[in-house]
Amino acid sequence: MIKLQIFTLAFLVSGLFVSAQNTDRQAPEGFDVEKKDIPRGKIDSIQYVSKTVGTTRKALIYTPPGYKKGNKYPVLYLLHGIGGDEKEWYKNGTPQIILDNLYAQGKLTPMIVVLPNGRAMKDDRATGNIMAKDKVDAFATFEKDLLNDLIPAVEKKYPVKKDRENRAIAGLSMGGGQTLNFGLGNINKFAWVGAFSSAPNTKEPQQLLPNPQKAKELKLLFISCGDQDGLMPFSKRTSDYLTANKIPHIFYIEPGGHDFKVWKNDLYIFSQLIFKPVDQSNFSEFTVFGTPAESNIRNAQFPQILRNGKAIFKVKAPEAQKVQIDLGKKYDLKKESDGSWKAITDSLSEGFHYYSLLIDNVAVADPSSKSFYGMGRYASGIEVPFAGDGYYAMKDVPHGDIRIQNFFSKVTNSWRRIFIYTPPGYDKNLNENYPALYILHGGGEDESGWATQGKANLILDNLIAEGKAKSMILIMPDANIGPAGFGNFGIRNLQMLEKEIKESVIPFAESNFRIKKDAPNRAMAGLSMGGIYTLYTGIQNSEMFSSLGVFSSGWMLPALQKVADDEYKFLADNKSKFNSNIKNFWIAMGGKNDIAYQNNQIMMKKLDELGVKYTYSEYPGGHTWPVWRNNLYQFAQLIFK
């Protein structure tokens, strides 16, 4: 029996960056060990007058090997954490050793490094309650001290280049938050920004960059965090905001927690990138790990997704002979010495993907990922974020509810399960009745599809909050009825579901929920197989509905040729009635890669010949949930208006 011990997904990136990015993705062993017989830099302590604090303050200065006062150098300001001072990096991070070793390998641009005390107050020692309000506030006060006192003092005493292109700022933890706050708040002062494991002092992204396009003036924006660091959300939310606004940056995720092992590695990487030409086109490749997929089970670190959509599955199954991942395309995993298997995927398209883990040709669900009913069985699913996915994101807006109920079907003579979305305020606004959209899933899926894979509740929550859609109730029944499988799919199934919608689903919904019971307030839609049901039910009963949405569908030919011919004849005889009743006959496809595309083209040509009014929309993505999510997003804005 195969024992699946650990299922993990990690990211590997092939190839090296050019120019400034031609560096390791992780520091090699011994990078922070003092080497013999190499030139060394020097650490000095300086004092400067701080008008901001009203006292004389201290900082450490690192000057590179071969330092000469006759030369001009760029400067890196390197900030410590909440429990440290100007000596924290020196004592625990050994920057002088890391940088000396890099200089010896010819990997650095010669620079001066300033290590200040970021706690800008008269008693700036890291003693007592370091979380006391006055001490925390002092980290914010340091911005003024840095800009008005420290930088001028350094530029007066040392031969440094004084333009922003030769000034960098970086820091760890509390200093990482300062780095983002100060660096992004003063882009006219800094061209290179490196935030390591940013702490909660980091401002909200909209405060950091109210005009995000300004950040394009930076040479490099580097955000890093250990994959086991509990402060990851502060780095991720900043990166997500930058990504949404198409701001080039590196989001570098590495193995580790909130400690100097991580921050030493950050300094090793960041110091090699600054004060050199930078190829921003490759920023999305520069990382060790990605972020855990939204579709992971609770606390599962893997699967992970990188900003470019690539993924590597890593599975520990030492007794297996062959391991694959099936994402539509199969990827062979390579066995490693510790019994784990690993493989890189291509860049995955946006949104939701079903996948299976194949262990010795047996398809199983990945226990690290949520399972979804699709493909006629439960399968794993992975969610790939993209810049335009905000319309189905969980936002700080009023939320509706998903209710799961059972009703007795007179058609199947059995109990059937149904999912129902009620809009925000439904349980408070007891005197208000709502329009209803009856929406059907596709083949191989069930009544849970629109609520889980489809994110229908979030789509409607956001649309309603923005005033783009009417508050409505969403009815999601089980469209699996009659003989199973597409080979048996025909007029009997169509008639059975039409009857169940009319005699069981609509009566149940309208008697148990506050639903308006007239055609102007009733719509129907469906995807793929559900689109065929929508066509049949809607055409036969146009007096019951005001809108029909047909997503990635059309009469399935040649299997449904006779049904299609009968429907066209019915439309020809009832064209005026249909055109008058159906205000929105909305047909949408996932482009030419949609498996239903040709059937749909044939259908629309026939509708044109008959003079049936409809609107056509196309969203690229083939026959997939990202397309259908967008279809609902568009269709919901058109109905009940």
pLDDT at 127: 93
Report yes or no: 97 and 34 within 8 Å, Cβ to Cβ: yes
Report yes or no: 319 and 340 within 8 Å, Cβ to Cβ: no
The candidate with the shortest Cα–Cα distance to 200, out of 150, 244, 258, 148, is: 258
DSSP-derived 3-state class of residue 263: helix
pLDDT in tens, 88-110: 999 999 999 999 999 999 999 99
Q: Dihedral angle at the C-alpha atoms of 412, 414, 415, 419, nearest 10 degrees?
A: -10
Output Rg (C-alpha) for the chain, integer angstroms.
30
DSSP-derived 3-state class of residue 511: helix
Q: Can you give the residue ranges of every domain in the chain? A: 44-125+134-285, 297-384, 401-637
Report yes or no: 134 and 48 within 8 Å, Cβ to Cβ: no
Across the range 98-127, mean pLDDT stands at: 97
Q: Are 297-384 and 401-637 equal in CATH topology?
A: no
Residue 359 structure tokens: 């262990």
Number of Cβ atoms within 10 Å of the Cβ of 106: 6
pLDDT at 555: 94
Across the range 131-151, mean pLDDT stands at: 97
pLDDT in tens, 187-207: 999 999 999 999 999 999 999
C-alpha of 527 from chain center = 25
Q: Are strands 6-10 and 584-589 parallel, antiparallel or unpaired?
A: unpaired
pLDDT in tens, 250-266: 999 999 999 999 999 99
Across the range 561-583, mean pLDDT stands at: 97
CA distance 463 to 87: 52
**Domain 44-125+134-285 is in which class?**
alpha beta
Res 365 pLDDT > 70 = yes
Q: Rounded mean pLDDT of the chain?
A: 93
What band does 10 get if pLDDT is binned at 50, 70 and 90? very low
Q: How far apart are the first and last CA of the chain?
A: 59
Lowest mean pLDDT among 149-163, 377-391, 432-446, 481-495: 481-495
Res 486 pLDDT > 70 = no
**Domain 401-637 is in which class?**
alpha beta
CA distance 76 to 99: 12
Q: Which residues of 152-176 are buried (b: 16+ CB within 10 A; e: fewer)?
A: ebbeeebebbeebebbbbbbbbbbb
Q: Which residue type, as a one-letter code, is found at position 350?
A: E
E strands of 227-339, at which residues? 250-254, 291-292, 304-305, 312-316, 323-326, 330-332, 334-335
- Superfamily of domain 297-384 in the CATH hierarchy: Immunoglobulins (2.60.40.10)
pLDDT at 82: 97
pLDDT in tens, 425-467: 999 999 999 999 999 999 999 999 999 999 999 999 999 999 9
Across the range 492-513, mean pLDDT stands at: 96
The candidate with the shortest Cα–Cα distance to 381, out of 308, 457, 445, is: 445
pLDDT in tens, 76-88: 999 999 999 999 9
Give the max Cα distance, the chain: 95
Burial grade of 39 (CB within 10 A; 0-12, 13-18, 19 or more): exposed
CA distance 418 to 475: 7
Res 547 pLDDT > 80 = yes
What band does 19 get if pLDDT is binned at 50, 70 and 90? very low
Our CA angle for 7, 10, 11, nearest 5°, is 155
Residue 202 structure tokens: 């980091």
pLDDT at 570: 97
Please list, in sequence order, all residues whose beta carbon lies within 8 angstroms of the beta carbon of residue 276, skipping any fewer than 6 positions away.
Answer: 19, 20, 109
